[in-house]
Structure 1
């Protein structure tokens, strides 16, 4: 009997080793704890190893309001660098405003990204936008990213799903066990778990979410927001938009830290107050407003939306988020925390060693979700394959040992 067990073990070890070459996304034929031993584990998440154990809801990210609205001349523009450049710099939430396409010959989902109306600012098709996001995510597999879609024309979720499917983003999208109708702040997975599952994209639909599309989550069931289009600072951080009957203390929240100005005295037609951007987006202003929100709600915002996020060029929103997350930060031109990356011609050595300040993740207000990434994850994705391989090998050896003990006992 003992010889039989040794023979069985000798056969099992090569089988376990063979499993180590399977693609990470491929399901392994072992249930429960044994399967988990064989699965690869993220060793770097959004640029830092310590963020892998951080809850998605307890991590502050900077987002770009109307991230597609890029123009040097159009007054309705909200950003001045491409979506790819935004992500490279450390932006980890992208917000878009979706409208029914007015192009009668359009193919695909028939959704365009426009600002208020497509006659005011036409930002192109949703498919084109998502294809850029998909390309960036493929190159940065250890980065968790959020997408917020404002459904301006009340389009069905299935129409958005068509664009997600055709661009290949649907398989990368997180599907919460609780469904689209809301996940409590304490129930969100860690960044590492999202990456390990191959679903690092978390997408929210502001209205008309449908359970038939389980990866487009109803925004206001999981997130509440204060007012938007605010014309004065400091920003009001009172609860304004939430599903009726939901307790805001159980949800994440998104802070709209972008200042607008009225056009011709209108209360509905507003454009970004670009002249005030250096002040509005300063590290001091972002932290002051975030601390005001935290004093009211006992946590930092999970998401902070900004216009022209890269103004000012030093000590801006990204550096502020790093402080909120208790992560290293520097005051370089992009606001990206230091890391082993190169961005826009700047080497990691020029970023300096950084300094750790702000609230840690264990503090009541250390909600943060964000910029603690090495410039869009370029460095982390480069190192990830070898680290994953070592981690996987260690898991195989551990599983082999456990199997040997079981067979020989």
Structure 2
């Protein structure tokens, strides 16, 4: 497969959609089913994760934008409806983090989750999905009022259900995805306030916080945004707050800086993007077996040798945007190398979709292909960014 061709990337996105559809539609409770075995058999109909629901909306909206199957818009609208009717807290505002069917399982208000609602509503609005514009306005207001910390120019991470008690934890991950959501909201609406916010976040995290981390972006921080070197120590498998320097997040920020550069180009964006890519690849790439290690210690030693599907996806996107911006062959070489690796080890050419996790030798772990909140958002998003980047 030639992933330097837009037609190949588009076909791959549509193959991902077909792996999940129609089994992902929950006709009983609404929303989407989130658990799937390798062959697409549903393994979990009950878990409704805010991030997972939003990622499915994103996935099928991308289907609309890439002229995919004619059911994509209806399937995206199905998710917008569930976000509005069940994930939304009608009493206190904001969105519940996890449901069991339609019953609230985790009522925490998480910036990470709200970032994905904003992303989903924005891309769905761009795809003319009914209800998306209204949802965009709702989540925009609550993220601004509840999560934005004007003093530090970054987003707080977490509140209780009634917005009474903020958590002390601060993290870069939620802010990274807020930056992605803001760029998407700008492209969907043309409103400069979203681009301004993405710009500010790109100055704060890849510049200021990276300096505090000694040249790489650390994950965890104290309330005054100093690195917390012991938070979650030893737990590199936390879905949203993994311990360590995460090479994949260096690469993901590299992608975001080049995405920002498309709309408001300043020299520091490319310089920082290349530096982040250089560190993410340099410390993370497994030269012997291929792929990218998951986590590094504060001293940049590899502490988690597993290969994760989303890391390869973000590396592909970063290489594509850097290649398009610089026209340097090494980035395109990495792009082709990474897609060849993904095609050999992560992409299921029989049933569709991507496997989640491999060990250092690229052997798969037992378990489901997809659990909440995966939804193959990362590879589909990487393909979409590559389509936009390719000449």
Is TM (by shorter chain) over 0.5? Answer: no
When you count helix as a share of all residues, which structure comes out higher? Answer: 2
- Select the structure of larger CA radius of gyration: 1
TM-score normalized by structure 2?
0.29
TM-score normalized by structure 1?
0.28
When you count strand as a share of all residues, which structure comes out higher? Answer: 1
